[in-house]
Each structure stands twice: as C-alpha cells, then as structure tokens.
Amino acid sequence: MSAQKAPHPFSKRKSRQAAFESFTTLFFRLATYAVIIAAGYIFFNIAYNGSKAVFMTKAPFINIAFLTQKPQTLHVYEPKEIYDELASIKAEILSSKAKKAALGSGAKTEAAAYSSQIETLEERYETLDEERKEGRLMYSDSEYRALPEPPSEELYAYNNYAYSGGGIGPAIIGTCLLVAGSIAIALTLGVLCAVYLSEYSRPGRVLQLIRLSILNLSGVPSIVFGLFGFGMFVLFFGWGVSMIAGWFTLAIMALPVIITASEESMRAIPKGFREGSLALGASKWTTIRTNVLPYALPGILTSSIMGIARVAGETAPIMFTAAFALRDQLPWEGLTKPTDFFFQGVMALPYHIYVVSAKIPQNEYTRNMQYGAAFVFLFIVGFFALSSIILRVKIRKKYKW
C-alpha cells in the first residue's frame, strides 16, 4: 500500500538544514575512519613484520634467543650455485630494463617483448630466491665461533651482516630500567611541583606565567632535551653517558606533561572535600595528603605513565646521555661497586631501532631486527599503559564520588 500517508507535524521533511546535518556527520565519520585506518595500518605493519622475529612456528613459539641474546653479527652462507645464478638474473633484468628504457616511443612491439622477458626473469628470480632462503645457513656470532669448521667456500657464498643476528635482550632490559627510573623521578618531582602550584601558590599573573612556560616546555623538540641533558648531567655533573643521566633527561622531558596533568586532576577535586577536611581541624598538608592526592591519583598516574611511555620512545634524549649502541655486559654484570650500576650506559630499544635502521647498511636481515625491536617496544609501552589503566580503575573504585 503505497498510498500517501497524511502528513503530520513531525513528519520528516527534506530541507537544506537536514542535508547539511547529514553532510557534517559524514564528514566527522570520515575523519575518524581515516585516523583509525592509518593507526591500524601502522600497528598491523609492525605487528605483522615484528611477529616474524619474535614468534616461531615451532615450540616454544616465542623466539627466546631474540628476546634474551645480545645483538650479534650474522654470518650467512648461501648455496653458491643459486647465489651466482641470482646475481646473473639480476644483471639480466637490469640490462633488459635499460634497453627497454632506451627504446624510442614508436617501438611498441619491442617494448612489449622486453616487458614479458623481464616478467619471466623476475618470476624465476623469485622462485630461486625462495630456494636460496631454504638452502642458506645462518649463524650468529656465538654459534659461528662454536662451529668446528665453517661451511666449505666452494659450496657456499659467505656474507656477514652487523647487528643482524642474536637478539635485543640488553636493549629490552635497558629500556625497562630507563622507564622505571624516569617514572620514579618524574612522578616525585612532578607531583611535588603540581601540589605546590595547585594548592599552595597564590593565583595571579606570576602563576599564569609559570603555568604557560611549563606548558610550552612540552613543545620543545626532544633533541634539545637531549643536548640539555648532555650538557648538564653528562658533562657538568660529570656523570658520563650513564643510566642516571638518562633518567633525569627523560624525567625532565616528561615533567611538563606530568605537572600539567597532575595539576588538572587536583584542581578537579571538589572544593567541598578540602573545606570539609580543614573544618575538622586538619592541617593543609594533611588535607592534601588524605583528601586531595588520593582522589587525584588515578588521573595523575594515567597521564604520567602515558607521558613517560611517550617520552621513553624518544631516541634523541638518550642518544647523548644514556644509550650505548652495543654493550657486552648486562647492567648488573661486572660492577665493582654498587653505585656503578647508575653510572653505566645501557642499550635501549629506541636507540637500537635507530642504529639498526639508520647507522648500518640495510639488508633483509636488519629489517627483521628493526620490526622485531619495534614490536617488542610497542609491547612494553602497551604493558605500561595497561598497568596504569588497571591501577587507575582499582583506585577509582576505591574513591568514587
């Protein structure tokens, strides 16, 4: 029954406003999807490529060596026949491509012939490459040295690649130490500072100015913090390239975020709690300790840990202050006195990723290391973020208003 319904006062009408409304909605939706797709692609890419390095198809499914060993030189032996054939095919492809490019625009049929030739060559190359991957022998440095004798030079072509074997164990440990230490320092300093700013200082121009400069500090490029840390902690304090210098540099870099967020969380606590507490004869500090900080803690923790996690991914601030590209000993090895622990450089994931992807020649093996390290790093950051969220939910449950 398609008989027209009688129009009623609320029946839908086409109007410019309605059209505009749906257009804006679509616009917002598209923007959101674009962001989600971009983020999803990045995460998928890292997870997909990284999982090749971190997981295995055989039990125990996790590549323990990758997570625990030091970075090592990778020694690769490829079957000589295949190796040589691959090289010649590659040369042929190149020459065909060059010839094709040299043809004039009139020679359509010849160009097509070259194209199909290149195609078949490339197919051949790929199948051979698969064979090469199956037939090759790979040894990390330690394994290599343990070999009774290296594979014969006649059957195999030999290459070695720096940083492409072993694992990222020391970098994982170093990053965890750096993050934990800088969280401790940044939280202490940041919360003390935020308490003073939000609870004790007199509101006014000066306070506004201080707030503004703290806020602006978070816009300073990380390399500047790195140089500051280098000048201050490494050189002036004479700490050298050390974990403690890295802690302070990272902490200072995270401070603006932490102070701002902590202050916000504290100012969001209703005035009634403070007044109620003071009216019962509590001192100011008691009031803050019992009736402001606990309620502000969820906000402080979440934002702080997020802030640190972000800062922990920066390469620039630790490049000059704390990170070693390669260190043979683990942080607790070879200490002559306990304080040495703080005054040693460590390996760190972000710096390791940087070194592996920018400082050494690229090849298929470094790629594996890069993605593996990035994946593990994402995992660590995710772990910190998750724990902060759990902590927040727990505390929030305890103090809810």
Binding site for another protein (CB under 8 A): 202-203, 270, 272-283, 286, 290-291, 295, 399-401
Please choose, from the candidates 161, 339, 347, 323, the residue with its C-alpha nearest in 3D space to the C-alpha of residue 245: 323
221 versus 272: smaller Cβ distance to another protein = 272
Q: Give whichever of 295 and 371 is closer to another protein, judged by the CB atom.
A: 295
CB of 277 to another protein, least distance (A): 7
CB of 188 to another protein, least distance (A): 24
Cβ distance to another protein smaller for residue 273 or 342: 273
Of 290 and 329, the one with the shorter C-beta distance to another protein is 290
In the bound state with another protein, the residue whose beta carbon lies nearer, of 97 and 274, is 274
Which residues are bridge partners to 137 per DSSP?
Answer: 77
Q: How far is the CB of 399 from another protein (least distance, A)?
A: 5
- Residue number with CB closer to another protein (236 or 401): 401
Pairing of strands 71-79, 156-166: antiparallel
* Whole-number Cα distances in Å, 276 to 236, 263, 266, 289: 48, 21, 16, 14
Q: For residue 297, give every residue at least 6 positions away whose Cβ sits within 8 Å of its Cβ, in sequence order, or none.
A: 265, 395
CB of 290 to another protein, least distance (A): 7
Which residues are CB-neighbours of 390 under 8 A, at least 6 positions away?
none
* Minimum gap (Å) between residue 305 Cβ and another protein: 23
User: Considering the complex, what minimum distance in angstroms separates the CB of residue 261 from another protein?
Assistant: 20
Q: Which one, 227 or 278, has the nearer CB to another protein?
A: 278
> Nearest approach, Cβ of 300 to another protein (angstroms)?
16
Beta carbon of residue 396, minimum distance to another protein (angstroms, whole number): 10
Nearer to another protein, 203 or 219 (CB): 203
Residues sharing a CB contact under 8 Å with residue 360, sequence separation 6 or more, in sequence order: 162, 163, 366
Sign of the dihedral through C-alpha 361, 362, 367, 368? negative
Least distance from C-beta 289 to another protein, angstroms?
Answer: 9
- Of 145 and 398, the one with the shorter C-beta distance to another protein is 398
| Least Cβ distance, residue 211 to another protein (angstroms) | 17
Q: Which is nearer to another protein, 74 or 293 (CB)?
A: 293
